[in-house]
Amino acid sequence: MDKKPTQTKNPTTVKQSRSEEQTVKSTNVGEFAFGKENYRLMLIGLAFIVIGFLLMVGGGSTDPNKFNPEIFSFRRITLAPILILTGYVIEIFAIMKRPKD
C-alpha cells in the first residue's frame, strides 16, 4: 500500500521551456544546413573525385592476345586513387564544417 509521491511541475517552468523551444524553432526555420563555403568545398571535392576516375580510364587493349603495359602506369595505379581519396576527405570536411553565422 505504498504510494509513490506524485511530482508536480512548476507551471512557470513549463511555460518558459515551451517558449524557449518556440523561439529556437522559429529562428532555424528557413535556414540551410550548409553555408556557401560548404557547397564550394563540396564541389571542389566532387571535382577531385571525377578527375581521379577520369585518370583511371583507359589502358586497355583491343586485342585480347596482346598485353598493354600502360594499364600499370603511375597515373592509373597511384595518382588517380590519391586524387579520389583526397576528394572524399574534402567531402567529409565540407559536410562536417560548421557554417559561419
Name the residue range of residue 89's domain: 32-96
Structure confidence by residue, pLDDT tens digits, 31-47? 778 889 999 999 999 99
Q: Do the domain assignments include residue 60?
A: yes
Q: Do the domain assignments include residue 54?
A: yes
Q: Do the domain assignments include residue 68?
A: yes
Q: Do the domain assignments include residue 24?
A: no
- The pTM (predicted TM-score) of the whole model is 0.66
Q: Do the domain assignments include residue 22?
A: no
- What's the average model confidence in pLDDT over 9-33? 59
Q: Do the domain assignments include residue 1?
A: no
Q: Which of 77, 43, 39, 44 is nearest to 58 (CA)?
A: 77
Asked which of 49-53, 56-60, 78-82 is least confident by mean pLDDT, the reply is 56-60
- Tell me if 56 sits within 8 A of 80, measured CB to CB: yes
C-alpha cell at 43: 564541389
What is the SS3 string spanning 27-39? Answer: HHCCCCCCCHHHH
Q: Do the domain assignments include residue 12?
A: no
Residue with cell 509521491: 5
Distance of CA 59 to the CA centre of its chain: 32
Domains contained in the chain, number? 1
